[in-house]
Amino acid sequence: MIPFNKPYLTGKEIEYINKANSSGKLTGNGYFTSKCKKWLEINTCTNSALLTNSCTAALEMAAILADIKNGDEIIMPSYTFVSTANAFVLRGGKPVFVDIDPNTLNMDWKLIEGQINKKTKAIVPVHYAGFGCDMDEIMKIAKKYNLLVIEDAAQGVMSKYKGKALGSIGDLGCYSFHETKNIISGEGGAILINNKKLKERAEIISEKGTNRNLFNKGQIDKYSWLDIGSSFLPGELTAAFLFAQMEEAKKITKERLKIWNYYENGLRNIEVEGLISIPKLQKYTEHNGHLFYLIHKNNYERDLFIKKMSKKGVMVVFHYIPLHISPYAKNKLNFKKQSLIFTESLFDRISRIPLWLGLNKEYVLKSVIESLYEIKKEN
């Protein structure tokens, strides 16, 4: 069976883990953490980056930094991973869900302004598939209403919007290095602190609410409890693994894009025949080949496609169940019933095909085309 995902290893991971191990410094903020931090700051052109244990943790840090309090509203898409919302709900915030643009599957920025009121505190654009949201438009709205922008760029490492790294445009940006992403450390993440005013507090929050960071640098002789915070910092072994991956980020992205472009070329005609639609890149998108999705005519054909691909030995998967129709949102979030037309009409028609380094892409594409024609014949 061709799996949906297979982690790519550069071969340097164990060497770097051994190096960290023999250095005797295994907690976070050691040599490899600082290498990763520098890599992030240079490659995203941001002011400051901190490693976290996951993108979920980065989003939770962002919610603390945004000072989310009971009843504050945060505008985000419903078509996203649960952590985008959970991070804010944990602080008493209320997600306000906005529909997606069917062309990008990203939050439709034209719908944001209509949801802003006195309780609105932040906007959280999610860059689905590593394709950037229209950040100029979102930043304009945020500026007009004095709102924070927190980019959920979990899938967007090495992607750009008009030449700027995703995650580096809003006040804060959150990355994931989960095993299923392009650059990995098993579990892992980072927060980019683009708004300089938040830098000092971010370091304190990441160190359990203390100024241990200054203590480690020898700038103070004891550290104390200054703020709320938690254990957001990964250890050196994780950072060592991650740095081996970061060193090959350009190569990994290039190879993923080759597969992505191969799929796009192979499926363009099938789209013209009306069997499926494939991603449409906006002029401003420079993406990282994170995922390739197909949109089927209906849910029946999507599920049949997944079954047929499985019979041919290729694992194909669906994606997010929208948050506004989840049991938690329905039972606990107490908002007026909403209808998000495109989110609801698209989510159960989406499938994602395998995309990883070393994959037999020719076989996958051939199987996709065969399965789609079989479905056409049967209907």
Ligand X SMILES: Cc1ncc(COP(=O)(O)O)c(C=O)c1O
Binding to ligand X by residue 13, rule CB under 6 A?
no
The interface with ligand X within residues 189-248 (CB under 6 A) comprises: 189
> Binding to ligand X by residue 55, rule CB under 6 A?
yes
Which of 46, 54, 211, 367 forms a contact with ligand X (CB under 6 A)? Answer: 54
Q: Which stretch binds ligand X (CB under 6 A): 23-31, 51-59, 129-137, 228-236?
A: 51-59
For ligand X, the binding residue among 29, 33, 106, 155 (CB under 6 A) is 155
Could you tell me which stretch among 80-88, 143-151, 246-254, 286-294 binds ligand X (CB under 6 A)? 80-88
Strand order in the sheet with 285-286: 164-165, 160-161, 285-286
Pick from 29, 46, 48, 83 the residue near ligand X by CB under 6 A. 83
Residue type, 64: I
From the list 302, 281, 292, the residue with the least C-alpha distance to 155 is: 292
Rounded Cα distance between 359 and 361, Å, is 5
Burial status of residue 11 (CB atoms within 10 A of its CB: 0-12, 13-18, 19 or more): exposed
Q: Based on CB atoms, which residue is closest to ligand X, 155 or 182?
A: 155
**Residue 21 to residues 30, 31, 125, Cα–Cα distance (Å):** 11, 11, 38
Query: Applying CB under 6 A, which part among 76-84, 91-99, 235-243, 264-272 lies near ligand X?
Result: 76-84
Q: Which stretch binds ligand X (CB under 6 A): 63-71, 147-155, 207-215, 308-316?
A: 147-155
Of the candidate residues 37, 94, 121, 178, the single one contacting ligand X (CB under 6 A): 178
By CB under 6 A, residue 176 contacts ligand X: yes
Select the residue interacting with ligand X from 29, 33, 44, 84 (CB under 6 A).
84
Size of the site for ligand X (CB under 6 A): 14
> Measured from the CB of residue 337, what is the shortest distance to ligand X in angstroms?
24
Question: Quick check: 290 binds ligand X (CB under 6 A)?
Answer: no
Closer by beta carbon to ligand X, 267 or else 291: 291
Piece of 79-87, 310-318, 337-345, 355-363 that binds ligand X (CB under 6 A): 79-87
Which tokens in the block code for residue 27? 């907690």
Taking alpha carbons only, the member of 99, 92, 54 closest to residue 74 is 92
Q: Which is nearer to ligand X, 56 or 343 (by Cβ)? A: 56
In the complex, what is the shortest distance from the CB of residue 76 to ligand X, in angstroms, rounded to a whole number?
A: 10
Is residue 80 near ligand X by the rule CB under 6 A? yes
Where on the chain is the footprint of ligand X (CB under 6 A)?
A: 54-56, 80-81, 83-84, 126, 152, 154-155, 176, 178, 189
